[in-house]
Structure 1
Amino acid sequence: MKRAIKVVLGILAAVILVGIVTFCISESLVIRASKGQDYEDADYIIVLGAKVDPWGPSRALDDRLRAAYGYLEDHPDCRAVVTGGQGPDEHVSEGECMRDWLIEKGVDPERVIAECEADDTRENLRFSCALIEQDCGADWRTQGIVIVSSEYHLCRARYVGRHLLDYDFGTYPAPTSLPAYKLRYFIREALGMVYTRLFYI
């Protein structure tokens, strides 16, 4: 009986250790990716959606929009695809909300393409690339494309793009404006990366 208990405890300890190591590796990848990469001189940026509140963009979405606006200001030849569908508790699609926000800030409407059907990151990227191909009149893979999202989300977004579409997207970080939430978001995203690798793709 004691031997059986020791075996069970040993297995449990091993599982916990593997879980801790896996989480630490995942967290390190999320942190490393949070700085962005390969984002210079994009032809298109894809701005990933987030929740729309009744009064406008949520804080996370506002952060992403401000980063996208700054990038468009610095790269006047770049165009933006803003992507996100409408959730059950949203009065407008994320894509429409983002398009209107950028245009109100002075971005030329011709530079903003709204994708309003996507429900998750896979659809965000797939639907956006289809719109890019329509817009440029060529294979979308010939374009330089950068994903704009919250810094903690970049690792997973790039991973999804690479494995779903076989393309290495650049990534551009939108810093989280509420430092108190950063720790929670980074922990959640590390767990999300583990889930994505195991079940999502």
Structure 2
Amino acid sequence: MRLLIHQKLRRYLLLLVMLTVAVVEIPIIAAGHLTKPLPSDTIIVLGAKLIGSQPSTMLRLRLDETIQLYKQGYAPTIIVSGAQGLDEIATEASIMRSYLVANGIPTKRIYLEDKSYNTYQNLLNSKTIMNEQGFRNAIIVSNASHIRRSLVLARQLGIEASGSPAPMADNAYLTAKQYAREGAAMLSLLVLNK
């Protein structure tokens, strides 16, 4: 009898975990595939880890997406956003700007936001630049796993924004890890805002 109750409890817990994962992860995955950019005043590129003086793979994918948007005329300016982590030799924003300039983006079209350490700060500080420059709307660029949470935070901060999901790294482990991380972050965001 006890064993039967234990097995049923385990099944219910497993079902609860699977439902939670489905409810949280499916919208994240869908946003990463379905979100489309709208013409805007600026593009906000969210920072990510550096490898020495170079963008990591995830950050390079974000920057390449930004270059494509800029060259296609989606926005005339770019805000690069990210501070210097403890294990980084420069600010993410400065390395991002260098990468963009090396790929043909004029320096005068790039605004530097180098004080933020997380997505919320990236967007809050970028909003300040938007207000100072009179920008009304933005395209947020991040990797597909991160775009939903970025847009939810932007909405909470009163930023009129569309998104442009950059591809994920061609690494199944890293991709699974990023989606799991975003699922936990999104769940935390939803629970804390109740």
Normalised by the length of structure 2, the TM-score is 0.88
For 1:124 and 1:77, locate their aligned partners in 2 and report how far apart those are by CA, in whole Å: 19
Deviation at 1:20, TM superposition (A): 1.4
Alignment check: 8 A CA contact 2:69 2:75 kept: no
Deviation at 1:186, TM superposition (A): 2.4
Pick closer, same or farther for the CA change 1:81–1:200 going to 2, 3 Å: farther
Q: Counterpart of 1:175? A: 167
Q: For 1:187, what is the secondary structure of its paired residue?
A: helix
Pick closer, same or farther for the CA change 1:200–1:120 going to 2, 3 Å: farther
Q: Counterpart of 2:84? A: 86
Match of residue 144, structure 1, among 137, 146, 151:
137
Matched residue pairs, number? 193
Q: Counterpart of 2:178? A: 185
For 1:172 and 1:189, locate their aligned partners in 2 and report how far apart those are by CA, in whole Å: 17
Match of residue 71, structure 1, among 69, 72, 85:
69
Deviation at 1:200, TM superposition (A): 7.3
1:109 counterpart letter in structure 2? T
Deviation at 1:43, TM superposition (A): 1.0
Alignment check: 8 A CA contact 2:80 2:93 kept: yes
Match of residue 102, structure 1, among 100, 103, 113:
100
Alignment check: 8 A CA contact 1:60 1:176 kept: yes
Normalised by the length of structure 1, the TM-score is 0.85
Identity in percent = 26
For 2:7 and 2:143, locate their aligned partners in 1 and report how far apart those are by CA, in whole Å: 40
Deviation at 1:162, TM superposition (A): 1.9
Q: For 2:33, what is the secondary structure of its paired residue?
A: coil
Q: Counterpart of 1:53? A: 51
CA root-mean-square deviation: 2.2
Pick closer, same or farther for the CA change 1:154–1:103 going to 2, 3 Å: same
Alignment check: 8 A CA contact 2:53 2:95 kept: no
Deviation at 1:77, TM superposition (A): 4.8
1:169 counterpart letter in structure 2? A
Q: Which moved more, 1:178-187 or 1:26-35?
A: 178-187
